[in-house]
Every structure is written in C-alpha cells, then in structure tokens.
Structure 1
Amino acid sequence: MDQLTVSGRDTVYVWVGRDTGGQPDPAAVLVRRAGSLLLGRAETAVVLTHDRKGRPVVRVDDVGLAVSVSRTAGLVVVAARRAGAVGVDVERIRPLPALALARRWFPPTELAWLGDRPEAGRTVDFLRLWTAKEAVGKALGRGLRDDGLRRLMPPPGLPLRPVPGVEHLRVGHPHLDGGLVLAVAAHANAPVDVEVVQWPGHGVTAERSTSVERTSLPVVVRGN
C-alpha cells in the first residue's frame, strides 16, 4: 500500500483490507493512506471531513479527495477519487432468497430481469444490483433514502455504465475474488477507470482493472 502509480486519467482507486474491529479503525487507516498516496503528502497532514451533502472527503490544505467506505463481515473497502464524488459497496456472497427480496425492494423491471437469470447465479446477480444501489446512493450523498432501492440500475457488465435517470452518474463492478461482490459509482460524464489496490495481508485476492467503467446492481438494507 506504500507504492502506487497514480494515473493521469480519471480513476477510482479501491483498497481492500481486513476489518479487525479494533483501534485504530482500519477504515480510518485506509482513508488516511489513500489521501497520502493520492495527494502526495504525509498521512499526518490528511484531515477527514465531509462535504455539504455529508459525503466523506479527505483534505490536505485546500485540496480535497472524495472517499467512500463500505464494510462487510471481517472486511473494509475504501474508494478514493480526485475528480469527483464516489461511492462503494461490498457484500459477501451467501445464500439469500433473491427473488423474495427483489419482490419487496426492487422495481418490476429488475425483478423480471432477475427472474430470467439462471438460478445458479441469481444470488450474485441480486447482490450486484443491491451493491450498485448502495454505491450510487453514497455517491449521491443520499444513501438508500428517497426510494433508493427502487432506483433503476443498468444491467450488470463492464465498463461502468450510466445510471438511468441520474445525470452524469455511472456504476459498475470491479472484480474481487474471495466470494465478494463489489460495486463502484462515480459522478462523471465520461469514462472512468477503476483500479483495485491490494493491501498486503488483507487475505483477499484483488485484481487490478484497467477497464474504463463497470456495471452492477445489489443487496442488504443498511444506512449510508
């Protein structure tokens, strides 16, 4: 995590680490390191604050960096971007009543899409939709409020794709091994790169992605 080649392109950087539940908070550690690497300053100079919509931002002097945090059992993920708002969400793949949950939370178009998907992969497809909704809500600074679960997502796929009805917002799914589904959203009117950066010792195989965007949708009812 101490070395990172920063691209000149609009890029979302994603760090994956273990969430030990101890102190210091692993999420805070990742956020400060992300700020240090992307803003080129010492970690001690990085200040965590929030913008007017409540989205987390790290600052060094007058320079800001948008960040987003997600946790699932034993894991923490931090996304950071210099060019604008970002959202991230991660879920572990586990048995779920995908269609029953979709009937309760998703719009009819997504329920129909999910029902047509192969049963063997339906849980993953549901989690893609759900994580996409979570990531989009974080990028918007709304979470899942205002019917966020009924906000229509683009079909899963790569690269990041525009979110229907939401101007200049894209969402997609960078690949993670280890039985995980990851979604990233970004405010952008042009393609955005996503790079997953492995944190040594996190125990999850992360794959660097140079594709310009990602798409997905997904699962779990929590706050922002």
Structure 2
Amino acid sequence: MDRHPGLAPDTVTVLWCTTDGDERRKAHALLVRSAAEMLDVPLSEIWLEHEAGGRPFLGGVGKALQVSVTHARGALAVALTSRAPVGVDVEAVRGLRARAMARAWLDPAEAAWVTGLPEGEQSAAFLWLWTQKESVGKALGQGLRQGGMSRQVPLPEQWPPGNGGGRLVLHPLPGVPDLASAAVMVDEGRHIVGVALRGDAGGGSRAGGVRLEVHQVPPAACG
C-alpha cells in the first residue's frame, strides 16, 4: 500500500479486495486500519461511528478524513479523502435485464448508450452507471432518493473501459460542477467500483479533476 495515499487534497483513494465472506466486518476493519496508516497514528486513535441514517464516519483523529464503505457478495471497498464528502459502491458484474432496466430507470441519453452496445456488454455498462449513481447518493448523504437513478453521471470515454491500472480522474456530472464521479473495472472485470465526490462542503467548489487512485488489497490483509 502506498504511504499516505489519501492525504493529498486532490486525491480520492479507494482500497478494494475480494473476500470469501464477512464483508461488512472486513470493510470496517480495512477502513479504520487504512485511515490509521494514512494519518500515521496508532490504530487506537481512530474508531468507526455511524450517523443516525447509518452513514459511517471516523471518530478520533480520523475526523480529518471523509470516508465511505461498500460491500457486495465476495468483494468490498473503502474510499478515503481529506477533501470533501465521498461515496463508493462495488457491484459484481452479472447478467441483468439491462435493456429493460436502462429504459425504465436511466436518463434517456444513458439508456440510449447502454442499449446501443452489444447485448453481451449491456449488463456491465448498466452497472458502470449504477455504481456511480449509488456513490453520488452516498456522497450527498441521501442514497438514491430524490431522483437518484435519473441523475446523469459521466459516460466512459471509451468502451470497454481500461482496467484501472493507472491514475484516473473524477469527471463532473453533466450540469453539476460540484459533483463528480468515475467507475473502474477491477478483479479482471468481475467487479465494478464506482466513486463520487461532492464539492468542498459549504464552498461550492468544483469536484471535477480530482484524481482517483485505486489499490487492490490482498485478501489475507483485507480483514
């Protein structure tokens, strides 16, 4: 793991791993341990708390970081940044009724993009957008309420997308400069991780252009 990867104000760091169970506990443990390493403090000085709505945050010295946690069957991810509220979501790539789901739930431009792809790629494309929408909802602290599924997120610059081996950039949501998101395929394309960032709290700062660094954690070190 890189030293202090999440302290730069222009970076969101995501750590992910595959696991054979107990995803929630392992995700929470990874979050606290990673925050302690980034801040270079003893593990005892950081602990996990939850807001009334269930959103996790760090207590103690960990208050210096904005965090988010996600887990799906067989995988988990955590996001950390010193910048602004962040959200993360992970989904296993699987077969879906993607054409029907896209037309029912997505913005028309997004639905047209999904349904315009070869049928075998539509499920992954739908999840590419879904993970970003989930992440935006987490960054806003409201989930997918208030039209979250119809909220447009950036489409990939190319498809199929890269595997996330290099540095990525969060792109502003169409018409919403203080919200930005991105998604990346991991685990050799078996999972997709979506990430979103709000503008700096209270300042209305633009969220786009922030770097996204995605690091895999070995399963043995994940929990």
CA apart distance, 1:135: 0.8
2:193 to 169, 182, 188: 182
- How far does the alpha carbon of each residue in 1:112-161 deviate from its partner, in whole angstroms, 9 at most, with x for none? 22222232321111111111101111111111111211111121236321
The secondary structure found in structure 1 opposite 2:169 is coil
Pairing of 1:151-190 with structure 2 (within 5 A)? 151-157=151-157, 159-178=169-188, 179-188=190-199, 189=206, 190=208
Partner of residue 213, structure 2:
195
Q: How far apart, in 2, do the equivalents of 1:14 and 1:69 lie? A: 10
Partner of 1:109: 109
Greater helix share, 1 or 2? Answer: 2
- In structure 2, do the counterparts of structure 1 residues 22 and 107 end up closer, same or farther at CA, with 3 Å as the change threshold? closer
**Counterparts of 1:167 and 1:56 in 2: how far apart (Å)?**
25
Counterpart in the other structure of 2:147: 147
- Percent identity between matched residues is 37
Relative to structure 2, which stretch is displaced further, 137-146 or 147-156?
Answer: 147-156
User: Which SS does the other structure have where 2:187 is aligned?
Assistant: coil
* Deviation for aligned residue 1:41: 1.0
Residues 187/53 of structure 1: CA separation in 2 closer, same or farther (3 Å cut): farther
Equivalent pairs, count: 203
8 Å Cα contact 1:14/1:197 also seen in 2: yes
- Residues 52 and 33 from structure 1, CA distance in 2 versus in 1: closer, same or farther, beyond 3 angstroms? same
CA distance in 1, matches of 2:43, 2:66: 16
- Report the TM-score when normalising by structure 2: 0.80
Superposed displacement of residue 68, structure 1: 0.9
The aligned counterpart of 2:165 is none
Partner Cα separation in structure 1 for residue 210 and residue 139 of structure 2: 14
Q: Which residue of 1 aligns with 2:202?
A: none
SS of the counterpart of 1:117? coil
Deviates more, 1:180-189 or 1:81-90: 180-189
Q: Which aligned pairs between 1:1-224 and structure 2 lie closer than 5 A?
A: 1=1, 4-6=3-5, 8-22=8-22, 25-50=25-50, 55-61=55-61, 63-157=63-157, 159-178=169-188, 179-188=190-199, 189=206, 190-201=208-219
1:126 aligned counterpart, secondary structure = helix
How many Å separate the matches in 1 of 2:48 and 2:182?
Answer: 26
1:186 partner amino acid: L
Question: Could you list the runs of 5+ residues in structure 1 that have no partner in the other structure?
Answer: 205-224
TM-score, with normalisation over the residues of structure 1? 0.79
